[in-house]
Amino acid sequence: MAKKSKRNQNNKGKTKIPQRVEVFGVNDPVTRFGWTIMAFLCVFGAVGAVNALEIQMDVSYLVMFVVAIYVIPVLHSIFSEAPSPVYRAHRWVRTVIPLILLTIIYFTVFNFQTLAASVLIISVVFGIFVLVQLVFPVERFYFFYVVLILLFGCCSAVFAGQYDPKTQPFGFCLLTLFVFEMFFYFFYYPGPTNRAFKFY
């Protein structure tokens, strides 16, 4: 009897290996396929934009090196098990980050006002974002939510590319970004009855 009790105690003392946490829209197989497609689209967009901008050869080699470093973890994520979410983003994080991304896109494209610059900035910004979701996924940044941010980022680039101080005051552009921010805040407004979709 004493031996059995010792065995039971030893079994109880063993810690169970935690199972991988799968969150729909973040790291499930279908969503990871979507992240992967988006990552390669960002790569093709960045490379095409660099070629369109006719950057010097030395810089082009550097760009190719950065692209290779980017593609390696993306390919590794395809053939490896999906990691569990490492962090659950607070609602303020989920509302402030879109504003930061849209502001970076807007003011960078505003300084160049070309299609190639727009594609390059959008590809780089969202390429980094997608890589994080593949390697260190953050819960609450769902795939379709990021796609929505990407669409608004394209809208910001269009506003910046067509900016004319005579017809569009600078305050109007800031107001546009503020409206985008309020839209994202509406998605994560506190309270179970004040959200656009219960999925979020």
Burial class (CB within 10 angstroms; exposed 0-12, middle 13-18, buried 19+) of 118: buried
Alpha-carbon distances of 192 from 42, 183, 199, rounded to whole Å: 35, 17, 11
pLDDT greater than 70 at residue 55:
no
101-159, pLDDT tens digit by residue? Answer: 888 888 888 888 788 888 989 999 999 999 999 999 998 888 998 998 899 888 888 88
Residues 83, 86: Cα–Cα separation, whole Å:
8
Across the chain, how many H-helices and E-strands are there? 7, 2
**pLDDT at residue number 191:** 52
75-98, pLDDT tens digit by residue? Answer: 988 888 889 898 888 877 888 888
Residues 147, 68: Cα–Cα separation, whole Å:
24
Tokens for 183?
A: 């839209």
**Element spanning 139, H or E:** strand 138-139
1-11, pLDDT tens digit by residue? Answer: 555 555 555 55
- Please indicate, yes or no, whether the overall pTM of this predicted structure exceeds 0.95: no
Roughly how many angstroms between the first and final C-alpha of the chain, as a whole number?
53
